[in-house]
Amino acid sequence: MSISLNAGAQSKKFNMGKWVEIQTALLQELNRSYVDSLPVDRIERLGVDAMLAGLDPYTVYIPAEENEDLQMLVHKTYGGIGAVIYKPDVNGHVVINEPYKGSPAEKYGLVCGDEIMAIDGETVVGLTSQQCSDKMKGDPNTKVVFTVKKIRSGEVVDITIVREKIKLPDVEFAQMIDKETGYILQTGFADGVAEDVRNAVIRLKKEGMKTLVLDLRGNGGGLLNEAADIVSIFLPKGSLVVTAKGKDPKSNYVIKTDKDPVDTYLPLIVLVDGGSASASEIVAGSLQDMDRATIMGWRTVGKGLVQSIRPLPYGGELKVTTAKYYTPSGRCVQAIDYSARDENGRVKEIPDSLTSEFKTAHGRIVRDGGGIAPDVVLTDKEYSRITFALVAYGIFEDYALNYVRAHESIPAVEEFHFSDADYEEFIEFAKTKDFDHRSSAKTLFDTMKQELEKDGLVEAMSSELKALEDAINMEKEEFLRLKKDEIIPFIEEEIVVRYYFQEAGIKVRLRYDDALREALRSERIPSRW
């Protein structure tokens, strides 16, 4: 048996050496023979990316020049002024779209609609948005000078701003939403988020919280240790959170809660959806397996893989999948086929025959192979194609900036509502913009007509096609008016963040959050662990 194993190891070693040798020989021959100069860096990067793509979507090469992006992912920090910028025209100015609350941009008086004409004396005309963003960033405590055209006065002034370390919060909102219900919106799992969640739970309990909603919808995950520390808020110290199993013995480990809980009895709802992945699934899966929370929403992504960072030559790094993780019941949530998604991007239902049964602490059956299935499935809100188009083409964003230019102030968030007259103004604005306003029915009709043209059937069916097209065709203005109730929440959110920062936008979102209201009406809210 030992001879067989040794032979297998030798075979793998030989194959790896063979392909390294072939690749080196290929590059040398191309360098000698290829008709043009050989773009070695570009083709090598393409080769590396293609090789890793053949493994899984999460194993990627990160060259030294992209390390800043990795640090942003892990720590959610960067050196800069703390503002979202907008540059609709490469030959135009940079527009301050949204300064962050408490940021240097806010402290030094930049507001939404201010136009940056030059950075450190260099005009921004001709620069891309990314090039401008790179110039605005820099080490904390360094200075950057902006030549700014102020939105209200039109005055052109030079403003010197001292950069700071900007940390984007993963707990974007933590407030009481009624007399007894606390709500925490968590959008990531960067370094330090568990402490923020813990502090928020303690504060909300003091404010009278009797039930907590932890919203992980759209949360794509992050650091595994942060997920474990969040679970520790709600489970006794020493509770199993997750088990990792990989090829390398160093990738095999068990994580248990190692901090004292805040409350092991507080009724807890965890909201998830088709954008909840990785660390979000660890939190939801662990709390579900231990019967500590009711998971509500929709099936999660199904990312049951653990990545580690490995150093490479010349400052590069490899983010590599090193293990699969298993929730306390023993299940792995990794989707059997992570490419199998429905039209909304969610994991498709997996037949029970392809999955295995596991049991929670109280004996409920849960299954593996396709994300976390919620205990309570909530009603899915669907949006029309025109709403997606308004987002994709930046119409809402353009209109919000236009609105800010025309309105120096607005009422408090709780009192701000878009009126019928306001919406008519939006329609007039949107009518002038170029975007694909076709309905889903019209897009299907256009596709069908193209297929009929290929088959030579359009002329024979011309009268039927014209009648159908006339029936489903809708002018831009008519369609916008029809979808008014669906569109207004997006407009209100875009507007309020420009006067009252991101927290205001979340308050507007909660105003229209039917899924949250449905969750709070559910009879499945747990009373005890």
If asked whether residues 216 and 330 sit together in one domain, one would say yes
Helix segments in 263-394, DSSP class H: 279-289, 385-392
Residue 462 lies in a domain: no
Q: What is the pLDDT of residues 207-264, one digit of tens each?
A: 999 999 999 999 999 999 999 999 999 999 999 999 999 888 888 999 999 999 999 9
pTM, two decimal places: 0.87
Give the mean pLDDT of 100-104.
95
Which one from 229, 303, 375, 507 is the annotated catalytic residue?
A: 303
Gyration radius of the chain's alpha carbons: 27
Look at strands 181-186 and 211-215 and give their pairing. Answer: parallel
Residue 200 tokens read as: 């928020």
Asked if 149 and 262 sit in the same domain, the reply is no
Count of all residues that appear for the chain in the document: 529
Picking from 167, 198, 214, the residue at the C-terminal end of a domain is 167
Domain boundary among 358, 378, 398: 378
How many C-alpha atoms does 117 have within 13 Å on its Cβ side? 11
Most distant CA pair in the chain: distance in Å?
83
User: Does the residue 262 lie in any domain?
Assistant: yes
Together in a domain, 393 and 431:
yes
Catalytic residue at 137? no
Domain holding 306, by residue range, is: 171-378
pLDDT at 55: 85
Burial status of residue 63 (CB atoms within 10 A of its CB: 0-12, 13-18, 19 or more): middle
Say yes or no: 266 and 327 in one domain: yes
Residue 65 lies in a domain: no
Q: Of all helices (H) and strands (E), which one includes residue 105?
A: helix 104-107
Claim to verify: residue 131 and residue 260 sit in the same structural domain: no
Q: Is 289 a catalytic residue?
A: yes
Residue 116 lies in a domain: yes
8 Å CB contact between 124 and 116? yes
Residues 6+ apart with CB under 8 A from 409: 499
Report d(CA 114, CA 126) in Å as an integer. 18
Considering only CA atoms, which of 78, 52, 327, 347 is closest in space to residue 190?
A: 78
pLDDT in tens, 303-346: 988 888 888 888 888 888 888 999 999 999 888 665 555 555 55
Q: Kindly state whether residue 36 falls inside one of the protein's structural domains.
A: no
Question: Given 232, 278, 280, 329, which residue is catalytic?
Answer: 278
Same domain (yes/no): 364, 414 = no
CATH number at residue 370: 3.90.226.10
Query: What angle separates helix 440-454 from helix 462-472, to the nearest 10 degrees?
Result: 160
Among 122, 152, 167, give the residue marking a domain's end: 167
Cross-strand partners of 384: none
- The answer to whether residue 17 is domain-embedded is no
Say if 352 falls within a structural domain. yes
CATH number at residue 124: 2.30.42.10
Whether residue 242 sits in one domain with residue 179:
yes
Clarify whether residues 344 and 410 are in a common domain.
Answer: no
Assess whether 130 and 185 both reside in one domain. no
**Together in a domain, 294 and 346:** yes
List 114, 170, 229, 289, catalytic entry: 289
Report d(CA 249, CA 59) in Å as an integer: 19
Identify the residue with better confidence: 455 or 158: 158
Q: Are residues 301 and 343 in the same domain?
A: yes
Q: How sure is the predictor about 351, in pLDDT bands with cuts at 50, 70 and 90?
A: low
Instruction: Give the contacts of 451 (CB within 8 A, at least 6 positions apart).
Output: none
Whether 48 is covered by a domain: the verdict is no
180 shares its domain with 216: yes
Structure tokens at 96: 């301050």
User: Annotated catalytic, 303?
Assistant: yes
What own/partner pairs with CB < 8 Å and gap ≥ 24 does 430-433 have? 430/390, 430/395, 430/399, 430/476, 430/480, 431/476, 431/477, 431/480, 433/393, 433/395, 433/398
pLDDT at residue number 1: 46
Residue 93: band (very low, low, confident or very high) from pLDDT cuts 50, 70, 90: very high
Through-space distance between the first and last CA atoms of the chain, rounded to whole angstroms: 50
Whole-angstrom Cα distance, residue 145 to residue 151?
18
Q: How many structural domains are present in the chain?
A: 3
